Structure 1
Amino acid sequence: MPPTSPRRVDLIKVRAALPPPSQEMVDAYERHLRSERGLSPHTIRAYVGDIVSLLGHVHGFDVIGTGESRPRQGCELDLAAIRAWLAAQRAAGTGRTTLARRSAAARTFTAWAHRRGHLAADPGARLVAPRPQRKLPAVLRQDQADDLMQASQSGATERNAVAMRDHAILELLYATGIRVSELCGLDIDDVHMDLRVVRVIGKGDKERTVPFGLPAQRAVQDWLTDGRPELATETSPPALLIGVRGGRLQPGSVRQIVHDALKAVPGAPDLGPHGLRHTAATHLLEGGADLRSVQELLGHATLATTQLYTHVTVERLRAVHDQAHPRS
């Protein structure tokens, strides 16, 4: 790490200061991500930010936060420029995982720009990205997950609307393993109580159906019957989950709900909604579910992403063996 941390760079200002041809290319790429690939606003913002940073570096702007900026015109986006951009970030202390993600963003962009005629060649095709260091995610033990649900249920039995909603949130996240954005995007009609399935719109606007169990069914039904009517207003959307003012519940609120709920479980790691997704996948595999079924439930595009959870279960088994076996 450098002696002093780089200052935060305002990429909106960098984008506005780019030469007109580069600005037009960024605008066209953003439209491509939104209209043709159907990515979420958060994903689009991240991808476009990476490309603005890359093009800003090519044109001499300070995109790393070192305080040095020498804007210049007529610079070429080639392999050397991409490598220099990545090297500057590495020197500033950027981690391998972030560098790998930004390398992938650069390759995707240059391939698109070459296809559309913005670049005469595709420099990203020859870029070798660093391998990200994949850390095993923290997950709850099954007894900790049970304690979490019981603590949440005890609060919901008081028939408090917010407590019933929060209990339904925790039960659904753990039962289905869906993403927090998918949870917040659910409407009431997306939940089929009789069949105990929920219709989810995932990444890339891909739809999938995910089952849930009886505890989640009871929690959601209680929320819909006794909790949601207390918070709903005339202007409330058809959202399954709403806030205290009647609007659709946002992911940030759900993250805080999960963090607060886990404080009631002694020894539990501090997880967010994605931690419950990891936990659900791990417990499914430990219970005997096959990898492809878990892939389908989680909405992973590739099996390689789901395979991470097999490593989690192996590590958990190794920890148990080390603790319990006399010759470990």
Structure 2
Amino acid sequence: MSSFLNKVAKMIGYQSMKDCVWHVLRRHHIQAILAMLSDSGKAPTTINTYLSALKGVALEAWTMKQLDTDSYQHIKHIGSFKGNRLPKGRALEESEIRALFFTCESDLSCRGLRDAAIIGILLGCGLRRSEIVALDFEHIVHKEQALKVRGKGNKERLAYMPKGTWLRLNKWVEEVRGEHNGSLFPRIRRHDDVTDHRMSDQAIYHILHTRRIESGLEKFAPHDLRRTFASAMLDNNEDIVTVKDAMGHSSIATTQKYDRRGDDRLKRASKRLNF
């Protein structure tokens, strides 16, 4: 939200959101901002996120008695922006997944075992990058073969691991990391120097980028592994509520956006046409 508000502040002539006099904004100002965003080619979902940020600021200004009730109500009742775009990202093919694991397991250094376990959890549990770097050893629930994950909104959930993920994680712990407390996936320096320092979100991006190139695969984003998890769960006929809970979503609508099976279904239907 800080990023969105900083962009809005610059759009209307301020240096940053800290300089912007938010409480003077009225309904017509916000509608003009939404129109500018639309004209710049922003997707409806992105525009609605900007709108949510601005409504949140208006609520805070009204709570602090910096904005009168009528003005706040006018802003509050601005309708969401309509329309949609084709979903971003993709689900990985089984052959791509096998190639990633083969690349990691062919790497005889400590990084090979660590990266195989990380990719296994990203694919097998559908974790976000921020969730995986926040994991500690004590978050492993051995009895349940699960991980205790703290996601968005400070909400905790259990992420149950499939057999392959569980085996890769145990191999990393038993052969390299050990069972001491601290970050489950710490940084590894040159010459297999396993540190006690926690990795950053960007480090996960770098790992996947490196392994993708080594595997000779087409470009994919880290979040595509999360999309792969959701699509695989739905393809296994798991109900949407189960997938929502597994991914730590608050809304089924959010989970549906991760489903990449529709593209393949449409592609198969097109191939059956005979024109």
TM-score w.r.t. the length of structure 2 is 0.83
The correspondence of residues 69-218 of structure 1 with structure 2, limited to 5 A, is: 76-91=24-39, 93=40, 95-96=42-43, 97-121=45-69, 122=72, 123-131=74-82, 133-136=84-87, 137-155=89-107, 158=108, 160-218=109-167
Question: Does residue 319 of the first structure (1) align with residue 249 of the second (2)?
Answer: no
Where does 1:153-302 land on structure 2 (aligned, <5 Å)?
153-155=105-107, 158=108, 160-228=109-177, 238-245=182-189, 246=195, 247-266=197-216, 268-302=217-251
Q: Distance in 2 between matches of 1:259 and 1:179?
A: 16
Q: Is the contact made by 1:111 and 1:124 (CA closer than 8 Å) also made in structure 2?
A: no
CA distance in 1, matches of 2:153, 2:24: 32
Percent of counterpart pairs with the same letter? 21
Q: CA deviation at 1:62?
A: 6.4
* Number of equivalenced pairs: 263
Tell me how far 1:112 sits from its aligned partner: 3.1
Relative to structure 1, is the Cα distance of residues 50 and 314 closer, same or farther in structure 2, using a 3 angstrom cutoff?
A: closer
Q: Which SS does the other structure have where 2:174 is aligned? A: helix
Preserved contact between residue 137 and residue 181 of structure 2 (Cα < 8 Å)? no
Cα deviation for residue 241 of structure 1 reads: 0.6
Paired letter, 2:98: D
Which amino acid in 1 is paired with 2:55? R
In 2, the alpha carbon distance for the partners of 1:184 and 1:75 equals 38
For residues 264 and 107 of structure 1, do their structure 2 counterparts lie closer, same or farther at Cα, with a shift above 3 Å needed? Answer: same
The worse-fitting range, judged by mean Cα deviation, of 174-183 and 71-80 is 71-80
Over 3 Å counting, the alpha-carbon distance change for 1:106 and 1:132 in structure 2 is farther
Q: Note closer, same or farther for the CA distance 1:263–1:132 as it changes in structure 2 (3 Å cut).
A: farther
Describe the shift of the 1:62–1:217 C-alpha distance in structure 2 as closer, same or farther (beyond 3 A).
closer
Structure 1: distance between partners of 2:123 and 2:100: 10
For 2:100 and 2:7, locate their aligned partners in 1 and report how far apart those are by CA, in whole Å: 42
The 8 Å contact of residues 138 and 269 in structure 1, kept in 2 or not, is answered as no
Deviation, structure 1 residue 94: 5.0
Partner deviation per Cα, 1:76-116 (whole Å, 9 max, x = no partner): 2211222233344445x251343222112111221232234
Does structure 2 conserve the Cα–Cα contact (< 8 Å) formed by 1:196 and 1:212?
Answer: yes
How much does 1:300 deviate?
Answer: 0.6
User: What is the one-letter code of the residue matched to 1:133?
Assistant: N
Provide the residue aligned with 2:192 in structure 1: none
Aligned-pair distance for 1:176?
0.2
| 1:15 aligned partner | none
- Aligned Cα root-mean-square deviation (Å): 2.9
What CA distance in whole angstroms lies between the structure 1 residues aligned with 2:263 and 2:9? 42
Would the alpha carbon gap of residues 132 and 205 (structure 1) be closer, same or farther in structure 2, given more than 3 Å must change?
farther
Quote how far apart the aligned CAs of 1:141 are.
1.7
TM-score by length of 1: 0.71
CA shift at 1:270, angstroms? 1.5
Return the offset for 1:289: 1.1
Conserved in 2, the CA contact under 8 Å of 1:100 and 1:129? yes
Letter in 2 for 1:262: R
Q: Give the deviation of 1:184 after TM superposition.
A: 0.4
Q: Which has the higher contact order (CA 8 A, sep 6+)?
A: 2
When you count strand as a share of all residues, which structure comes out higher? Answer: 2
Work out whether residues 191 and 198 of structure 1, in 8 Å CA contact, stay in contact via their aligned partners in 2.
Answer: yes
Question: What's the CA shift string for 1:43-80, capped at 9, x where partnerless?
Answer: xxxx234345546666x5367xxxxxxx9989822112
Instruction: Answer yes or no: is the 8 Å Cα contact 1:162–1:227 preserved in 2.
Output: no
